[in-house]
Structure 1
């Protein structure tokens, strides 16, 4: 197994009604999150953001004319102990690049890595998301309902 790079993209998705998309992890059903994934060799964080949206929910943002917003924000956090085996020995921190993306929730979502998804209010997302950095991204970058 190839090790994951300890650098990732977090993409907070919200729809035309300002609802947030939550994804339930397969390996930990109590863990709800936004789209996220590790950078591949030679890949820029923005490229990772587009790729992960396509891979995790089956929506090609570029083909639909959706633009991923790069917020120029990075988070550094301690990797959960249960996932350390995925990274090179001695790696304990991950650097996360934060993005957001507004999509149309009428588009079909095809999950490949998660058990289920839900569109929820911003307030509900803030109570259900597991990761503090994910909650912060929703708080900062998902607009409130006008």
Structure 2
């Protein structure tokens, strides 16, 4: 298996009322997060966001529905996942996106990645996620959504 690129997306999925979709990881107990994933090949980051959304939730949207926040963060890759990256790679650059769905919906989880999902308000979501950059993005959601 080829190494993952240390370039990824974070995709906040929300409703107009700012209910947020969180997914619980299979490989990290009680680790809740928004949709995330690494870029493959030379795909555009918006295409990474669309692909990861479809793979992790079964939700398919057009490119125009995804909002690019034009924001990125560098963070240290958790030790438990470093084996997925080339030797010596310890930092990842994460690019933030969001998508507003008209209402909460059922999703089709990727069983290899996630065990459960839940829709909750953005404040609770910001407290639940394990990633500091995910929590920061969730706290920015009201301003980014013009609420």
TM over 0.5: yes
2:18 corresponds in structure 1 to: 18
Summarize the alignment of residues 81-100 of structure 1 with structure 2, pairs less than 5 Å apart.
81-100=79-98
Query: CA offsets, 1:1-57, max 9 Å, x none?
Result: 211000001001111331011100000122100000000001111110111101100
1:7 corresponds in structure 2 to: 7
CA-atom RMSD, angstroms? Answer: 1.8
Query: CA offsets, 1:67-93, max 9 Å, x none?
Result: 110010010000000100000000000
2:55 equivalent to 1:55? yes
Q: Tell me the CA shift for residue 145 of structure 1.
A: 10
SS where residue 22 of structure 1 aligns?
A: strand
Q: Are the aligned partners of 1:23 and 1:116 in contact in 2 as well (CA < 8 Å)?
A: yes
SS where residue 109 of structure 1 aligns?
A: coil
Q: Are the aligned partners of 1:40 and 1:48 in contact in 2 as well (CA < 8 Å)?
A: yes
Q: Identify unmatched segments of 5+ residues in structure 1.
A: none
Question: TM-score scaled to structure 2, two decimals?
Answer: 0.91
Q: Could you say if the C-alpha distance between residues 106 and 122 of structure 1 is closer, same or farther in structure 2, counting changes exceeding 3 Å?
A: closer
Q: Identify unmatched segments of 5+ residues in structure 2.
A: none
